Structure 1
Amino acid sequence: MFFPEKVVEVNVLTVEDFLKDLSNYLIKFGEFEIKRVNIKEAYNLAKIDDGKDNDFEKFSELKVRLDRLAVSMGVDDNRIKKTLDEREPMSLSELDMRLTKAENEFYSASGILSNLEKEEIDLRFKKLQYSISKDLESRGGMKEFFTAMIVVPKYELSPIVKNLSSIPSIVREVEDFKDMSVILVSVPLIYKSEILKLSTSFLKFVDVGSIKYDYDIEEIERRLKEIEIEKKKLKSMLDKIIEMNTDEVLSLYRGLWFVNASMKIKSSSIRGKKFIVFSGWIPKSRQNEVIENVKNITKDTCIIEVREVEKVLKEDKTVQVPTKLNNPRVLSPFESLVKLYAIPKFYEIDPTIIFAFLYVLFYGMMFGDVGQGLVLSLLSAILFWKFKNFRVIAGVGIAVGISAAIFGFLYGSVFGIEEKIIPAMWTSPLHDVLRIMKVSVAIGFIVIFVGLVLNAINTVREKNILKFLLGSKGVSGIVFYTFLIGYPLYLLVFGGSFNGNLMLWGVLIPTLMFIIEAVVEAKKHGHRISPVTIFFELFEVFISFVSNTISFVRIAGFALNHTALMITFFSIANVIKGTTIGDIVAFFVVVFGQIFIIVFEGFIVGIQSLRLSFYEFFTKFFRGGGKAFEPLR
């Protein structure tokens, strides 16, 4: 929990026929990160096949086909998205075969239906032409007019009608064909050329007056009735096909994701005509379990090599060892915030649990109020329950809300009402400013001191003894900070007589260590170092320790600000109330004040807590630059 979980490299040589079963196991195992094989000896294990691998092209083709089928069948996108975290063991050939079968069933029926619909539209168009022709004949042909029947997409109907309105015309929509509209346009003959200019943008254009229609209208109507019956049967059959094949499509998606994961192993491996060598990272605590299962799956037809991180790095220092954080699930929101800053290297201290405690502590002290804290916690719990995408911020909100409520009891504050509803169990920031300031600075000292201790531990794990003993953030830095800040602070809080010599030597001796460390480091890297450079480095150490500690006064400042803000809203309400309307307005002022403080100030306090953690604490020890452990999914 305080350190990332130890991982080891595992290399497996086996027959490629077992890849599907091994992929299925490693996906279910859930803690195997693929690593590109870099074993020189692998080429001696089997004849390497350098031929072109068409699996990726085939995978892309199947993905396109499956997506097209899912869209055509109207499969819900949300159901497809849910399959992203699910896997079903399947080979490319099996996936292709099952997809082809589903396509044939669906597209054959939908193709027949599509042809019927096209025939129906053609017959309905002929029927419409016939009807319009007869109507014109009954009116004497309207020889002084040019009449045309136009088919346009529905989304273009309004712009076309608008364009036609610029000339004398009669426009009438006479029929709807699915996503098309049929309009009848009549214009004086002198405007015929204007209509012809627009004809290129029409799906279909027919000069009604220039064609004689001798269709057998009875035969058309008979065929339209037959088509309607056939369409109903086909739609019913298509609905059944969709119902039967929807689960199959989702199963194919699960198979597709499985094939994708399996190909990740393949792409990072070295392969021969019969053999495959693949590599990855697994938790050291589960290496025996992996070895046993791989042997069972391959029926002992395998060679397994497990190597410690130290051995891997000794052979190749460029290898990036992944960091597998090992925190309880309840800390996952805070782990996400740590990752926002940086990912610790595999040997570094994982600051998640310390960060979680400090963040909640800082927030509670700055936002201490029973009522507002519980409201914040309740709202965060609802957000956590209802919206999965907001679980990080909601999880943090629940924790800091409870912390704020606890400090509310300590401060005696309920919805901004100080020490009237409940007494202060510890102190009131408003009535004991000096005390809360002393405590804030003391917390700052402890936090920075812990950061320096953690840095000393990290330098030991890095085997950097020079920085551990003489560095400004090592043992010498701890002594320097203790006597520079800790000793005066102790006297300020607990009292006692000041010993100038003790403080002087406590600061001077570590300063000498800093100078020695700077000189040694410069010689080690072949750099020249001047007294001026050393002076400014020492000055920077001094200033940073002092300013970082004083920065924690903001805890007291925001605690006071929280109380003062609520007093302001209560004061405004007291001025307004006195009449019926005034009492109503005063009530809304107080309610608005509560909402404003919970939302706006709550957000600002969250940012300040994050700043204290990231800038004042993490900078003392947290290097970052690690690579997150990304298991095969």
Structure 2
Amino acid sequence: MVLRPVRMAKVRIIGSVSKRDRILSALHDLGVMEVEEVGKEVLSVLRPGRNPEIYQKVINTLSRFRSYEAQLPAREVRGRKRFDSVEQVLAEADSLNIDQDLKILKQQESDILGNIRDIESRIEPVSAISDLNYDLGIFNGARISSYIAVPQGKDFDPSLLRETLKDSVIREISGGRILISIPREQEAFLGRVASESGIRLMHIPDMMGKTPSQYLEELNRKLGENRESLETVRKALIQLSENYYERVVQIREQLEIEARKMEAMEKQAASGDIFVLEGWVPERDMARVERVLDRVSNGSVIVSRVETDEVPPTLMDNPRRFRAFEFFVRFYSIPKEYEVDPTLIFALIFPVFFGLMVGDWGYGLVILSISLWLLHRLDHPPKKSHIPRSLSRFALTVFGPNALRTLARALIPGAAVAIVAGLLFNNFFGFPLLPHTVFAVSTGFGGAKILGFPPTPSESFSATVVIPKILLLAGYIGLAMVTFGLLLGIANSLFIRERRHAVGKAGWILLAWGIAVIGLDLIHHNLSFSLPTGLVNIICLGLIVVGLALIIVFEGALSAIELPSIISHILSYTRLVGILLASVILAQVIDIIFIKGVDKSVGLAVAGVIILVLGQIFNLAIAIFEPGIQGARLLYVEFFSKFFQGNGRVFRPFGIKRRYTLNQVDEAEAK
């Protein structure tokens, strides 16, 4: 079912030890079983499983091949290799030993790179004084040391250094750089001054008998020689990778699989020729598991269901287009197997709440554009970014690429709703651009007249008339959402046969409707409540009495203390209107300041444009974060609390995806 996690079954696999490796390989490649420790009833007759001695050799060899893969230049792997046993993959690994060749080449590469860095660090300061025809020996000695200072700010005044470093020789050279010769005992003081003044220091290399230009020529020659040597070493590494990389990644992947199989063996029980393995499998995959294991073991296996009261792991399985919203449900909590999975509900309702609270088709278009741009940028990162690196690094540190991608996908439908709502409300960055308004939420600033449009029907409405009506609508939305949540809670209770809780939640529905209808009716009729003649009010009082009785009888008298929360949760949905009005009013205030400034003078017009741009950017930021936070809160607190307990654990099947090796399942299913 879409609204529930996948039904799980606990299974017990009994097989022949001689076929254990093939059975574990098939289970790994199926990737549908979470292996657990065998139960006490099994351990009472069988011994716990233990990793064989070969396990340590697998781990050591795996570590070696991971190192190979990390050091070799990556290349495309086109083939896949089949390994039939752990002995085969270990024999293949022993036959491929490139330790010595790889160690020598990587050491040479490291040494050459160190030389290049050292030469480049010398070239920069020497280049700065290459036009000085002095012996480099005069710049450094037993009592003097010389530096090139590079100010980081454009407006740095060298006279400040002369005042601070009075015992030093300071000379301005090309490119805004400064040559400083200072007594050696003052080097630490120079370092502090440079740090405080935002100056980068480069030490002039110690060299006797050469002018800067001569030494620079020698450094460039050495740099070229080292780069040629580096190119030779890297070509040798590429050749080594051409010869061995494919085999390395194939062996590494199979060793990882063998290590996981041996970890699974730790959870088994065995005795003689029989082993037992237990775990969780989705019910929909039971037949496939039985069929594949029967074929790979030639009938030497028994797969049976284990009756248990344990809480199974949770496997959420929503339609592909809605899976991005699983992130928001997981952020709150993982549903248990018997609970309703609210992902689909969240995916349908959150964008509506978000779009209604934004309520501006200009903001909606910007949010949609940002979301689409962000998805494209994450999927196709540019070689050179114009965004400050610190900002990009901060965003990726806070959210991470996957979280940013999920957030962008979730905002797209919300932005679409915001565009539709904005067209209905006639709001474009607060301006009523359209000649007609379907639903008026403006407060009558008269922007249409200022922009040259004829008066719209909405301009005849007063905010004091419109706002109570949409507040009333928001109240009924809250009543519907709370009722829906309680109905889902009833479904959960009936699913696990807790009928008393189901009846108690039915009482809460009756109570909520009785109180809410009376309260909303008071708002609608201007606080005119007549008990004797109001038939609806009499019915609502009956609902309150019956609902309260059901709550006390089936959930206990203490449950009545939750009465204020049910009312507050319904009223909380009026924030949909509050945030919408706050955004609309702020946008219109910014627009009015801009329009008034344009009418007055050039100076005020410039100030108005600045206020318009900065104000709309600020309001746009609010329009992204506030509706997002409040929309999620309405679902998390006011809706989820009626049916969702969570605290489930994620289903983690045994197995990793093969990329370079062949699996047994495809062959078994092809038979």
Q: Aligned to 1:623, which of 645, 649, 652?
A: 645
Residue 363 of structure 1 deviates from its aligned partner by 1.0
In the alignment, is the contact (CA less than 8 A) between 2:42 and 2:269 conserved in 1?
Answer: no
- The answer for the alignment partner of 1:416 in structure 2 is 430
In the alignment, is the contact (CA less than 8 A) between 2:359 and 2:421 conserved in 1?
Answer: yes
Residue 264 of structure 1 deviates from its aligned partner by 3.7
- The answer for the alignment partner of 2:515 in structure 1 is 484
The answer on 1:13 being equivalent to 2:9 is: no
Residue 269 of structure 1 deviates from its aligned partner by 1.6
The unaligned stretches of length 5 or more in structure 2 are 115-140, 143-180, 188-204, 209-226, 379-400, 444-462, 657-671
**RMSD of Structure 2 on Structure 1 (CA):** 4.0
- Structure 1 pair 556–111 and aligned structure 2 pair: CA distance change class (3 A): closer
Q: Aligned to 2:628, which of 598, 606, 610?
A: 606
- The answer for the alignment partner of 2:356 in structure 1 is 365
Q: Aligned to 1:435, which of 456, 459, 469?
A: 469
1:212-260 deviations in whole A, cap 9, x for unaligned? xxxxxxxxxxxxxxxx999998875444113322333332332233224
- The answer for the alignment partner of 1:407 in structure 2 is 421
- Structure 1 pair 273–568 and aligned structure 2 pair: CA distance change class (3 A): farther
What is the percent sequence identity of the aligned residues? 21
Residue 368 of structure 1 deviates from its aligned partner by 1.4
The answer on 1:507 being equivalent to 2:544 is: yes
- The answer for the alignment partner of 2:322 in structure 1 is 331
- 2:41 aligned counterpart, secondary structure: coil
In the alignment, is the contact (CA less than 8 A) between 2:83 and 2:89 conserved in 1?
Answer: no
State the alpha-carbon separation in 2 of the partners of residues 115 and 358 from structure 1: 61
In the alignment, is the contact (CA less than 8 A) between 2:3 and 2:342 conserved in 1?
Answer: yes
Residue 301 of structure 1 deviates from its aligned partner by 1.2
Alignment of 1:137-156 (within 5 A): none
- Structure 1 pair 66–8 and aligned structure 2 pair: CA distance change class (3 A): same
The amino acid that maps onto 2:283 is K
Residue 346 of structure 1 deviates from its aligned partner by 0.8
Residue 437 of structure 1 deviates from its aligned partner by 0.8
The amino acid that maps onto 2:429 is F
The amino acid that maps onto 2:308 is V
The answer on 1:242 being equivalent to 2:241 is: yes
- 1:40 aligned counterpart, secondary structure: helix
- Structure 1 pair 444–537 and aligned structure 2 pair: CA distance change class (3 A): same
- The answer for the alignment partner of 1:221 in structure 2 is none
Stretch moving more, 255-264 or 322-331: 255-264
- The answer for the alignment partner of 2:30 in structure 1 is 29
Alignment of 1:507-546 (within 5 A): 507-518=544-555, 534=557, 537-538=559-560, 540-546=561-567
State the alpha-carbon separation in 2 of the partners of residues 427 and 516 from structure 1: 47
- The answer for the alignment partner of 1:107 in structure 2 is 100
- 2:98 aligned counterpart, secondary structure: helix
In the alignment, is the contact (CA less than 8 A) between 2:551 and 2:559 conserved in 1?
Answer: no
- The answer for the alignment partner of 2:411 in structure 1 is 397
- Structure 1 pair 113–423 and aligned structure 2 pair: CA distance change class (3 A): closer
* Aligned residue pair count: 503
- The answer for the alignment partner of 2:342 in structure 1 is 351
Larger Rg: 1
In the alignment, is the contact (CA less than 8 A) between 1:451 and 1:618 conserved in 2?
Answer: yes
- 1:417 aligned counterpart, secondary structure: coil
- The answer for the alignment partner of 1:529 in structure 2 is none
Residue 75 of structure 1 deviates from its aligned partner by 5.1
1:380-433 deviations in whole A, cap 9, x for unaligned? 122233325222211111121112112112212223222x32533344354521
In the alignment, is the contact (CA less than 8 A) between 1:479 and 1:506 conserved in 2?
Answer: yes
- The answer for the alignment partner of 1:566 in structure 2 is 587
State the alpha-carbon separation in 2 of the partners of residues 475 and 21 from structure 1: 53
In the alignment, is the contact (CA less than 8 A) between 1:413 and 1:422 conserved in 2?
Answer: no
The amino acid that maps onto 1:32 is M
State the alpha-carbon separation in 2 of the partners of residues 293 and 489 from structure 1: 61
In the alignment, is the contact (CA less than 8 A) between 2:367 and 2:411 conserved in 1?
Answer: yes
Q: Aligned to 1:498, which of 522, 525, 534?
A: 534
In the alignment, is the contact (CA less than 8 A) between 2:326 and 2:343 conserved in 1?
Answer: yes
In the alignment, is the contact (CA less than 8 A) between 1:438 and 1:493 conserved in 2?
Answer: yes
State the alpha-carbon separation in 2 of the partners of residues 231 and 591 from structure 1: 53
- 1:449 aligned counterpart, secondary structure: helix
- 2:10 aligned counterpart, secondary structure: strand
State the alpha-carbon separation in 2 of the partners of residues 116 and 479 from structure 1: 77
State the alpha-carbon separation in 2 of the partners of residues 240 and 591 from structure 1: 57
- Structure 1 pair 609–276 and aligned structure 2 pair: CA distance change class (3 A): same
State the alpha-carbon separation in 2 of the partners of residues 33 and 116 from structure 1: 45
- Structure 1 pair 444–28 and aligned structure 2 pair: CA distance change class (3 A): same
In the alignment, is the contact (CA less than 8 A) between 1:113 and 1:231 conserved in 2?
Answer: no
1:307-366 deviations in whole A, cap 9, x for unaligned? 4xxx222xxxxx231122221121112221111111111111112222222212211111
1:148-195 deviations in whole A, cap 9, x for unaligned? xxxxxxxxxxxxxx9994599xxxxxxxxxxxxx9889xxxxxxxxxx
State the alpha-carbon separation in 1 of the partners of residues 282 and 471 from structure 2: 46
- 2:275 aligned counterpart, secondary structure: strand
1:235-293 deviations in whole A, cap 9, x for unaligned? 75444113322333332332233224323422222234544322222221221122111
State the alpha-carbon separation in 2 of the partners of residues 574 and 48 from structure 1: 84
The amino acid that maps onto 1:15 is S
In the alignment, is the contact (CA less than 8 A) between 1:90 and 1:255 conserved in 2?
Answer: no
- The answer for the alignment partner of 1:139 in structure 2 is none
In the alignment, is the contact (CA less than 8 A) between 1:5 and 1:323 conserved in 2?
Answer: yes
State the alpha-carbon separation in 1 of the partners of residues 341 and 231 from structure 2: 65
Q: Aligned to 1:553, which of 566, 574, 577?
A: 574
